[in-house]
Amino acid sequence: MADGAVVNTFDPYAVRAQFPILSRQVNGRPLVYLDNAASAQKPRAVIDALLATMEGGYANVHRGLHTLSNEATEAFEKAREIVARFLNAESAEQVVWTKGGTEAINLVANGLGLSIQPGDEIVVSEMEHHSNIVPWHLLRERRGAVIKWIPVKDDGSLDMAAYAGLLGPKTRMVAVTHMSNVLGTINPVAEISRLAHAAGAQVLIDGCQGAVHATPDVQAIGCDFYVLTGHKLFAPTGIGALYGKAEALEALPPYQGGGEMIETVEQDRVTYARPPHRFEAGTPPILEAIGLGVALEWLAQYDRAAVQAHEHALYQHAVDRLQGETWLRILGQAEGKGAILTFAVEGAHAHDVAQIMDRYGVAVRAGLHCAEPLAKRMGVTSSTRASFALYNTVEDADAFVDALIKARNFFV
């Protein structure tokens, strides 16, 4: 296939064949991997690229003058450019490498925290992952910030009228997920950004799910910061990225100190590099960044709309088969939601449901999904989650429903 060519007809079986792990068995059954919202599997292209780099092209990046260092630097910075294109950023210099989405949010929160005054307000939603809650709680504890919460409606959508009413002259930051990791809700992030900016606040979008299943166009969204993580995007763990508007990154102080992020170091003073290197102290995640670049190039060969339609069709197929089951409660049914099916089974704990389904080779998630405020809002102490990816098939969806029904019957 030519570089940059897009597959117009999406074939999930051809995609699935590129993931070695999906051919294995679990408990004597074919693996049905539906824990993609937690972490996605890795295609052969990424595995091979990591191996090839370790075997024949690894060295530290940037300051080396030898051939291996130059080659590694070129691959490392090419990956940054790939991420910038993926996000539709204006420049690769607006992409900061982090070890994941959590570190990216903490980077912004720590930088903002140095100027936070008691009473300044941070607006988050009730559907946020803990990674987009706890860093703001640290500002509440340490700087006297006030956290305000956007309510979630019964269908799993945000109450946008309530959100507009939360904004005011003390609002400093609005931090909202692009797509809920529990409900699958895809939020109107462009409108969220517009309203926040009208109130004089900055906007951070947690795109750890949205970058995979929605459309992460930062210019269209208009946010100040956008966060993604590699391991959900078919890349290695330990790598993520923070996009920031040029002026927003320039205004942030360094997050960590060390090599790479400095301009000069003297006994009585230090000056710092410009973004993005200002925020990349120490030896960076070289292999992981290269792996993320390869994963995004691999993903780019598939038409995004076709992938989204395929994932939604699998979700809908499972929901249709479960229609009318009074023992099942589906959490989150907002219009246009992504392919995440989170549910509670009457009379059964989510952990037990997940463990029984695992007997049939079906891997799902159970618990609070790092979203405790949302669980409280939805009135559950735990739930089970099946999350679909582009390599899942209708056979996977059927195996999921069959295993779920068997699990439920265990408790009857």
| 223 among known catalytic residues | no
The helix/strand/coil state of 134 is helix
According to DSSP, the residues that pair with 383 across neighbouring strands are 367
Strand, helix or coil at 406? Answer: helix
For 35-161, where are the E strands, in sequence order? 95-98, 121-125, 146-150
- CA dist list (Å): 100 to 3, 106, 131, 240, 245: 28, 10, 10, 4, 19
How far, in Å, CA of 126 to CA of 106, rounded? 19
26, 313, 328, 370: which one is catalytic? 370
Which residues make Cβ contacts (< 8 Å) with residue 141, sequence separation at least 6? none
- Full DSSP string of 300-365: HTB-HHHHHHHHHHHHHHHHHHTTT-TTEEEE---TT--SEEEEEETTS-HHHHHHHHHHTTEE-E
List of residues 6+ apart from 392 with CB closer than 8 A: 12, 16, 32, 33, 34, 36, 311, 314
Pick from 397, 367, 400, 396: nearest CA to 382: 367
402: number of Cβ within 10 Å: 15
Instruction: Report the length, in residues, of the chain.
Output: 412
Alpha-helix residue ranges (DSSP H) falling in 64-133: 67-87, 101-113
Cα 344 to Cα 85: distance, rounded to the nearest angstrom = 39
The residues assigned a catalytic role are 370
